[in-house]
Amino acid sequence: MNPIDTGFICPVPELAENPQISSLIARCAQLAMLLEVSASPKPGNVDREHNYPDTYFEHFISSSVSVYPVIELAARCRNGIGALIRSAVCESSAWQKGGNTHFGAFLLLIPLSMAAGELFNSRGKTQYKLLPDEFEALAVHAHAFVQATDCEDAVEFYRAFEVAGVRVNSVDEFNLGDPESTSELRAKEVTLYELMDIARGYDLIANEWVTGFRRCLEGANCIIEFMQAQSPGAENSVSNCSGTGINEAIVYTFLRLLSRHRDTFIETKFDKDTADYVSARAGEILSAWEGASGNIESSDNITRDFEDLLPAVQEFDSELLKKRINPGSTADIIIASLFIALLGGLRF
């Protein structure tokens, strides 16, 4: 196979920084993508048990592996987010024929990888692991990177759509399907962050950029909380129905985030009412499992037998798959959440 020549246009930094840092960050990103698509049952989305007619589990696996060099470069870069996004999309498309698999995830992973590289390189240490109180610092650094994007980042972002074939709402007057939009972007000097700010009300990933990756942090903390609560006294060690607990942590966190935040991919593909129904149903399933209080913050509730939750989740999964309703934006948030948790030392 001959991958597409992505032709990075962002400045490639000299290899003065510790290469172990960028390698660690890229592997955490890869593992996050692989864990997310492997998790099952994850209502409505492709996983190890279910494919979509044109997009299979193997397509996501291929995409996850293919983008290693782009994420590794992102961990060494301090600018060029737009070019990195386009490069990630090109690499993903070169290695599989299932169409768009990780576009939203790349939008999150690239600035977070840049932030992780900056944080780790500033320490002068040989051990690289985010402490729990450093999660917020990671988000702050990532937010600073996206705020610093320029017009060329916006142009590169639009060019990525020529490859990705993403279903998305166009950003007001800047039609994603119109090649002339890039000229308008340059004429008006619109930055990529400004585009995301325009889209924040109807796109979950754009909202993450503008609000400082809050849902990504929420998901990371939920995954870690679940893993630790399942095995009190044994940090990051879980023994339950998957043998490690990570599958259950992902499914639980997926439902939790879906219940709290309307999935804008569903809203774009269908409508707001459908997205609201999916979120409400996810909340009902969690509430029924956790008891009448519906308190999803309690570690006592989290430690309940996960197998009791599975029948309702599997039924919900079947319903969404039959209707072709896939909460793709939530899956992207889960990937970023796993990435942060893995940077924090989560092992299973």
Residue found by looking up tokens 């939008």 in the block: 107
pLDDT tens-digit map of 281-293: 999 999 999 873 4
Range of the domain at 214: 19-231+328-344
- Whether the pLDDT of residue 79 is over 60: the answer is yes
- Domain membership of residue 237 (yes or no) is no
In a domain, residue 208? The reply is yes
Position 3 scores a pLDDT of 45
CATH number assigned to the domain comprising residue 87: 1.10.4200.10
Domain annotation covers residue 294: no
Contact 306, 240 (CB under 8 A): yes
pLDDT tens-digit readout, 4-63: 444 555 555 654 568 899 999 999 999 999 999 999 999 999 999 999 999 999 999 999
Can you tell me the mean pLDDT for 340-345? 97
Domain assignment present for 270: no
- Specify whether the CB–CB gap between 282 and 316 falls below 8 A: yes
Q: What is the pLDDT of residue 161?
A: 80
34 in any annotated domain: yes
Secondary structure (3-state) at 145: helix
The per-residue pLDDT for range 177-200, each reduced to its tens digit, is 565 678 889 999 999 999 999 999
Helix/strand/coil for 317: helix
Structural domain contains residue 129: yes
Residue 308 included in any domain: no
The SS3 call for residue 35 is helix
Inside any domain, residue 271: no
Total domains, the chain: 1
Q: What is the mean pLDDT of the chain?
A: 87
CA dist., res. 324 & res. 319, Å (int): 9
**Cα–Cα distance list, 125 to 23, 103, 121, 167 (Å):** 15, 33, 8, 43
